[in-house]
Amino acid sequence: MTNQLPPLSIGQCATLACLWEVSAPKPGNVHRGADFEDLTFEDFLTSAALIARAMEAAACGAAVGTVVLEAVRATRAAVGKNTNLGTVLLLAPLARVPRDRPLAAGVAEVLAGLAADDARDVYEAIRLAQPGGMGRAERYDLFDGPPSSLLDAMRQSAERDLVARQYVVDFAGVLEVVVPWLLEELSAGLSLSQAIIHLQMRLMARFPDSLIARKCGPALARQSAAWAESVLQSGAPGEETYHAALADFDFWLRSDRNRRNPGTTADLIAAGLFAALRDSRLPLLNGLSEPGRVGPDVRGCRS
């Protein structure tokens, strides 16, 4: 007799990752204690629930572009705003990896198999979501029609967009940085919320947030990275100096009508949470079995 539960389905992993990410009171982001003028915590909760069906379709073999477009359509229909485009762009290729394949090798195969239809659907999803700060591009502009290769378009944007960069490096940033750092924070005894916040500071310090860069310019993104580093240097989680520095940073990020929102960092954290949940690596859910080892098929695929 075993007390282990079967692993979460891919849809459950996606929804829970998004719920945990938005619930942590991260500086500059919407969370359970802070809304924006045009985005609320409830908008993000709704969005987290509504992408589950598209992610389940990915686990059953749906194309990445189809998954992205359907998730954005569902979100847009329910909340009428862009709450999760970056997150969905990161989750879709990861969700497409078969559960019996390691994520690193599997996502590389998924990316290598992207086709022109994926580019078409992703471009339609981006236009539908209407993300802020996109501007115009010399090549692969959203308003010039989709390219034949989504990877080529992502390469064009990789230097200025952390989400696009994951497509170019086979999600190394998520799998080799975000997930290990998250597990380090939890292994150090931090609560999930504390771990997510400290992870946000580490990521922002190392990788200036590209949503801030798009909306406010690279110089301000670098300033936000320097500020995140100063928070890390102020003390450890739980210490008064650390929390005072977090509060000051949060106030600065929320200035200028929330244009300094570190949304790309939040997307990366959600993707890291998803990857850790998918592989049952989070100690706070250690009652779950390893994927595919115990319990029934939980993918929910239908022939």
User: Looking at residue 115, what is its pLDDT?
Assistant: 95
CATH code 1.10.4200.10 for 10-285: yes
| Three-class DSSP category at 289 | coil
Beta strands in the chain (DSSP E): none
User: Looking at residue 147, what is its pLDDT?
Assistant: 87
Terminal Cα distance for the chain, rounded: 32
Q: pTM to 2 decimals?
A: 0.92
Show the low-confidence residues of the chain (pLDDT under 70): 1-3, 132-144, 289-300, 302-303
User: Looking at residue 137, what is its pLDDT?
Assistant: 47
Distance separating alpha carbons of residues 137 and 118, to the nearest angstrom: 20
User: Looking at residue 296, what is its pLDDT?
Assistant: 42
| Other CB atoms within 10 A of residue 47 CB | 27
Domain boundary assignment for the chain: 10-285
User: Looking at residue 294, what is its pLDDT?
Assistant: 40
